[in-house]
């Protein structure tokens, strides 16, 4: 029996950003699917409605892959795919599989010989990189930095050195309620000439994207508390 296709369906990064986030093909695709694997069912159902889902939501089969469901067998998520039905995979925000636990589902799909089809949509890391003015030829996404202050300071300095050595853009992020603490540590531990881009609330109504040398950021007042933010460092000299 031919197996189904796993479609990777991006979700808006911010409230009121649905119109910026979906393509006609995405709308067509969701209206051919009845089964989804999602990180957050409430977010997923809201987005499907905003995107123009015509199928009654009561007819959808939603597999919850939230944080309390991970670590168990992945077999239940693949029943429909193995029987030939197409399935959509959705993150809580942005692209599934990128800084997202959905990567485990995608990896298992490849092991099972299931075709994976990524759809075009918003991604905070790439959109931050696009708008930073930094190198898009060589870049690395580090994810979350250590919580311990001494370890985090060391990691920031290491990333600054890596950027200078390889002319490589360094991207990282933090839990939104700790953003201001991370910014303080960046400003304290980087050299004044190092460039920092702050990309906050991407696609949102209060989107803030700005690139300055560390020395100038030290004179700015920025409040990033509870605002989804990507930080980018670049040092070319």
Superfamily of chain region 124-234: Tetrapyrrole methylase, C-terminal domain (3.30.950.10)
Class (C level, CATH) for 5-118:
alpha beta
List 233's β-bridge partners, or say none: 170, 196
d(CA 73, CA 110): 16
| Confidence (pLDDT) at 68 | 59
| Confidence (pLDDT) at 67 | 67
| Confidence (pLDDT) at 72 | 72
| Confidence (pLDDT) at 178 | 96
| Confidence (pLDDT) at 10 | 95
d(CA 72, CA 58): 26
- pTM equals 0.92
Mean pLDDT by 10 residues, the chain (237 residues): 95 89 94 95 92 95 79 86 97 90 94 97 96 96 94 98 97 96 98 98 96 97 96 94
d(CA 217, CA 214): 5
b/e 180-204 (16+ beta carbons within 10 angstroms → b): bbbbebbbebbeeebbbbbbbbbbb
| Confidence (pLDDT) at 61 | 96
| Confidence (pLDDT) at 15 | 87
Where in the chain are the domains? 5-118, 124-234
């Amino acid at each position: 029996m031919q197996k189904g296709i796993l479609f990777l369906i991006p979700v808006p990064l911010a409230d009121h950003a649905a119109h910026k986030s979906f393509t006609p093909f995405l709308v067509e695709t969701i209206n051919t699917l009845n089964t989804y694997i999602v990180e957050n069912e409430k977010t997923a159902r809201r987005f499907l409605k905003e995107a123009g889902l015509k199928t009654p939501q009561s007819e959808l089969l939603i597999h919850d892959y939230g944080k309390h469901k991970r670590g168990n067998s992945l077999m239940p998520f693949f029943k429909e795919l193995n029987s030939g039905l197409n399935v959509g995979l959705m993150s809580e925000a942005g692209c599934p599989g990128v800084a997202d636990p959905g990567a485990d589902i995608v990896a298992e799909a490849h092991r099972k010989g299931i075709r994976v089809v990524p759809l075009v949509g918003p991604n905070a890391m790439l959109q931050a990189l696009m708008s930073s003015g930094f190198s898009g030829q060589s870049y690395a996404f580090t994810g979350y930095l250590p919580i311990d202050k001494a370890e985090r300071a060391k990691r920031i300095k290491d990333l600054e050195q890596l950027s200078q050595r390889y002319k490589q853009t360094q991207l990282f992020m933090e839990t939104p309620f700790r953003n201001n603490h991370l910014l303080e540590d960046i400003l304290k531990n980087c050299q004044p000439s190092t460039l920092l881009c702050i990309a906050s609330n991407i696609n949102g109504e209060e989107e803030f994207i700005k690139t300055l040398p560390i020395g100038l950021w030290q004179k700015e007042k920025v409040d990033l508390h509870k605002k989804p933010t990507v930080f980018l460092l670049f040092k070319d000299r």
